[in-house]
Structure 1
């Protein structure tokens, strides 16, 4: 999988737009970031701590906590080079739902 695939997935989420965060590409709903692309082959997703724990358990090697305080808050690295596209899409969707307004998130389920 390449970065362009992730970008297409992220921008395909309702209300998503591209911006920049600390000089790196990011993807948001409104002003809330759900994914960043800090370096080639790695995305960072906004998860809850429970979601992060589940991702680490079900996708070892694919997901890892971001080092430091951000990782303790649930921010999770996604190493996508060899990842399954559908799994990556599901993980991006989880991050998106964490920041999307409730009405928008509910409407996207239908």
Structure 2
């Protein structure tokens, strides 16, 4: 997974816009951040998953996903070079669903 592929997956979800905060791109839906690129380092991304979704996503691919040290519950780091495309897509959708307004979320088909 590259930064460009991560960006394309995130922006491919309904209602998503890219924003720059502190020189790091983030991805928002309904004004809420659900993913950040380049956090904690340039080869990483961070997903703002629900605390319920995080354990399953991390367990399914522990070489690529890990809970963010000292982060809020659900904040999950993704080592992009180790992350398989299907797993990142699944995790991005989970983070997006957690933040998306119902009117957008209800019309999304995977």
TM-score by length of 1: 0.89
Match of 1:31 in 2: 31
For residues 30 and 99 of structure 1, do their structure 2 counterparts lie closer, same or farther at Cα, with a shift above 3 Å needed?
same
2:47 maps to which residue?
Answer: 45
User: Could you list the per-position Cα deviations for residues 40-65 of structure 1 after superposition, in whole angstroms to 9, with x for gaps in the alignment?
Assistant: 22110011112111112211121111
* Equivalences, count: 108
What residue is the counterpart of 1:87 in the other structure? 87
CA RMSD of superposed structures (Å): 1.5
Is 1:99 aligned to residue 99 of structure 2? yes
Give me the whole-angstrom Cα distance separating, in 1, the residues matched to 2:108 and 2:90.
13
Distance 2:58 2:92 in 1: 15
Structure 2 equivalent of residue 64 of structure 1: 66
Q: Extract structure 1 runs of 4+ deviating beyond 4 A.
A: none
Deviations 1:65-106 (A, max 9, x none): 1111x24x2110011213221221111111111110112111
TM-score under structure 2 normalisation?
Answer: 0.89
